[in-house]
Structure 1
Amino acid sequence: MTASTAQQVVYDPYSAAFKDDPWPVYRRLRDEAPVYHSQKWGFWALSRFEDVRAAARDHETYLSFEGIDIDDTAKDMSAPGFLPDIDNPRHDQLRRIVQRTFVPRTIAKLEDDVRRVVTGLVDRFADTGTADIAQDLAWPIPYAVFFDVLGLPTTGSDREDLVRWSHGLKDREDDDPRLTPVAWDALHDTKDYLAHVLTERRAHPREDLLSTLVTAEVDDHDGVPYAPARIDRDSEIVGLAFVLFLAGVESTSALLSTAFRELARHPEQAAGLVADPAGIPAAVEEALRFDAPLQVAGRTTTRDVELHGVTIPAGERVFLVYGSANRDERQFDDPDRFDVTRPPQRHMSFSEGLHGCLGAPLARLEARVALEVALPRLGRFEISGPLTRYRSTPNMRVLDSLPVSFTPSGRTS
């Protein structure tokens, strides 16, 4: 790679054109500029699987304190307790508080509840022959499931406010890294609400994650209460509850929409999963690999890093491009092909190392159950209208609309 070659590649994760079709740019990054430097935005980017994985696992060289988000979310929404943006030793202290809720054996106990949620949602459209999989299934599932885990209301006006704020928090304009006024208002409203609920849970704890936070100790050995005497929007405990609230829905929605979108495009694979549901967990992993919900994460170097003949100086912002790593030909055979029968392989959609995704077991459970319940009732389904991209941070790749048509069970076409 030469400097002149590198300059021919343009990676602008903030642009609408890039977001609509990132894959050709990713391929050029991997082939021509595996250590990319953006003069316009002042970041470096790693795009090959092994480079991204090594950086994700090296939490001493690549720190998170300047934020995982690559837009102004990192400086305007991040705060004490915002777990993805915290390095050790504080990271591990806070993660231990919530870790037990998300271990696989605990998550497995939620399967009946998840199945009940999914079945109720599918019942609403199964006899109509049309659905918007994003709006009717992919978004409602994680709201219902994760709100219950966290201890937030799943019905009523408070729930409506929380859903509206959660979307508002991600309100962005293309080609602009700044938060919109809608996002600012949602930020303040959400944190004020969480501070109020955490204060209430301290007086009246329940069997939920918010109660776990407010009754926890910082460290098992010193007995220091985690919650301060007075909880307000700037308290660390609110920051931790906020990041759980922020991360608990969008990634799962993205995974679900990708899975159904690609199965609509590959009906023979969908039929294979209906015939043999044992293949569904592999299909979930393929959907994660094929189109990672979290496309990129930011880090900051603590030292000079030499890679592929290029030196990234200490103190620089480095973007770990998970979406590109998952399509790396050096790691995956025919990576641009969606194939639910692909042999199991490690991917980077949930990252690795210190900041490996805490909620991965829950997202996998929700996606597996959604496919098990919905695919037999959809039968052969196809995309019936334009797909709409969700307006979110440039880190994320999520659908807002996925219209499909199908022949309801019991009818003939």
Structure 2
Amino acid sequence: MAMSIEKPYVEAEYDPIYDPFTAEFQADPFASYERLRREAPVYYNEKWDFYALSRFADVRAALKNHEDLLNFQGVDIDDFEQEQSSFPGMLPNIDNPRHDQLRAAVQRSFMPRSIRALTDEVRQVCDTLIDSFGDRREIDISADFAWPIPFEVFYNFLGMPEGEIREKFVQWTHGIKHREIGSQELTPWARESSQELREYLAHLLRERRANPREDVLTAIVQAEIDGVPIAGDEIDFAAEATGLAFAMYLGGVETTAGTMSTLFEQLGRHPEQQRALHDDPKLIPRAVEESLRYRTIFQVTARTTVRPVEFDGVEIPEGKRVFLILGSANRDETVFEDAEKFDILRTPKPHLGFGEGLHGCLGNPLARLETTVALEQLVARKSIFELAGEPHRYITTPNAYVFDSVPVRFA
């Protein structure tokens, strides 16, 4: 029988084992995760009034529980998707039946066969960037390689215009994610970037209706659900079609760039693992999966309880925000041996790097393809590298752990 207690695992004096909005936590989240798993697997934060799950089994069960834990209040833990949830079409914030209907409308573009067809394009993008290194022994492998790849590949895939306007898209991408540590509120830059991007996406959707192409924006504007177009007569910044395009856009760059940056950062710290890749490139897919597990880019996703739900004998009341800490679940020592170590040779096991269940990441095949091909080309064309300076963490939502600078030196 579940215990019904208001503040499980919290002492009389506030003890913030897990406060993702503090600079102290963001500096080293993994120490807090270990303590959570050991001392407080169902944790209540009284300051922010949320519960948190940190163990693999609990997080996985919560991701798959689409009856008691819903997405209608958004999956970001700050105010971003709480604000965006007022707009229709934001796929991560929508529950069934509309979620499955909208996802089906764009699913074909993300089928494995469609993604595999992009392999040559991804390889060409990677080779062009490697060519640009020239004879330089030192580069920033995050800023010069990991970030430009998804900006180029995903923008083409989605249907973003080419030319100078892409620089504006880059600015909007970084602006949307901009945060101030210690606050749940969005910065003015984030709000402005979100509004401007939505308005431009609406413009592109209207253009695609008049001039269709082979891209995701066209798929959205042409899609119907039960004979009713997703894109109504008026496509503005608040339209459902715009929200769906906005959701696709948000997931297409940061996850991939972050995964690559972590992968290269860890390989720079572990040259012996790089040598293993050079000796046997067939290990590359394992290296990609280890990067996704080791430092999951989206560290946490949120749900809201619509009825009491029990985890580890603790009952979480109705109407509570629950943070599912993917970054902790993927370091669970009861599931992954030597979980705190980056090891591309470990026996593969399922991880939660892209979530799971109804809201599992739609774009994960493309992110995996880009990261795999990028590492393949780097191993084939460049020598082993080491870190040439301290990596810099990208200022982004408290959900994420992403580098935007990883200086390296090739041998």
- Measured after TM superposition, the shift of residue 126 of structure 1 is 4.7
Aligned-partner SS, 1:202:
helix
- Measured after TM superposition, the shift of residue 311 of structure 1 is 1.7
- Measured after TM superposition, the shift of residue 284 of structure 1 is 0.3
- 1:194 match: 201
Amino acid at match of 1:128: R
Counterparts of 1:2 and 1:191, CA distance in 2 = 42
- Measured after TM superposition, the shift of residue 10 of structure 1 is 1.7
- 2:364 match: 360
- Measured after TM superposition, the shift of residue 179 of structure 1 is 0.9
TM-score by length of 1: 0.95
CA contact (8 A) 2:394 2:404 kept: yes
Counterparts of 2:314 and 2:370, CA distance in 1 = 42
Residues 359-386 of structure 1: CA deviation (Å, up to 9, x unaligned): 0000000000010011243322111112
- Measured after TM superposition, the shift of residue 43 of structure 1 is 0.4
- 2:213 match: 206
- 1:326 match: 330
Counterparts of 1:338 and 1:6, CA distance in 2 = 36
Which among 81, 105, 109 is matched to residue 113 of structure 2? 105
Which among 144, 147, 153 is matched to residue 145 of structure 1? 153
Counterparts of 1:204 and 1:6, CA distance in 2 = 62
- 2:47 match: 40
CA contact (8 A) 2:307 2:317 kept: yes
- Measured after TM superposition, the shift of residue 152 of structure 1 is 0.2
Amino acid at match of 2:297: P
- 2:319 match: 315
CA contact (8 A) 1:301 1:315 kept: yes
- 1:171 match: 178
Give runs of aligned pairs for residues 5-404 of structure 1, distance below 5 A. 8=15, 10-78=17-85, 79-153=87-161, 155-218=162-225, 222-404=226-408
- Measured after TM superposition, the shift of residue 2 of structure 1 is 5.2
In the superposition, relative to structure 1, how do residues 243 and 389 fare at CA in structure 2: closer, same or farther (>3 Å)? same
- Measured after TM superposition, the shift of residue 159 of structure 1 is 0.8
State which drifts further: 195-204 or 222-231. 222-231
Counterparts of 1:343 and 1:5, CA distance in 2 = 43
RMSD: 1.4
- Measured after TM superposition, the shift of residue 160 of structure 1 is 1.0
Counterparts of 1:318 and 1:233, CA distance in 2 = 30
Counterparts of 1:76 and 1:307, CA distance in 2 = 29
Amino acid at match of 2:294: F
Amino acid at match of 1:138: A
Residues 91-148 of structure 1: CA deviation (Å, up to 9, x unaligned): 0000001111111111001000000001101111152001111110111000100000
The answer for unaligned runs of 5 or more in structure 1 is 408-413
In the superposition, relative to structure 1, how do residues 5 and 104 fare at CA in structure 2: closer, same or farther (>3 Å)? farther
**Identical columns (%):** 53
CA contact (8 A) 2:14 2:46 kept: no
- Measured after TM superposition, the shift of residue 5 of structure 1 is 9.7
CA contact (8 A) 2:296 2:326 kept: yes
Amino acid at match of 2:67: E
Aligned-partner SS, 2:267:
helix
Residues 6-31 of structure 1: CA deviation (Å, up to 9, x unaligned): 96452011112211211110000000
- Measured after TM superposition, the shift of residue 213 of structure 1 is 0.5
Counterparts of 1:173 and 1:190, CA distance in 2 = 21
Residues 22-46 of structure 1: CA deviation (Å, up to 9, x unaligned): 1110000000000000001110000
In the superposition, relative to structure 1, how do residues 295 and 22 fare at CA in structure 2: closer, same or farther (>3 Å)? same
Counterparts of 1:53 and 1:44, CA distance in 2 = 15
- Measured after TM superposition, the shift of residue 330 of structure 1 is 1.1
Work out the number of aligned pairs and report it: 403
The answer for unaligned runs of 5 or more in structure 2 is 1-7
Residues 337-378 of structure 1: CA deviation (Å, up to 9, x unaligned): 111011110101101100011000000000000100112433
Counterparts of 1:8 and 1:71, CA distance in 2 = 21
Amino acid at match of 2:356: E
CA contact (8 A) 1:67 1:74 kept: yes
- 2:4 match: none
Amino acid at match of 2:284: I
Counterparts of 1:2 and 1:87, CA distance in 2 = 30
Counterparts of 2:385 and 2:13, CA distance in 1 = 43
- Measured after TM superposition, the shift of residue 89 of structure 1 is 0.2
- 2:3 match: none
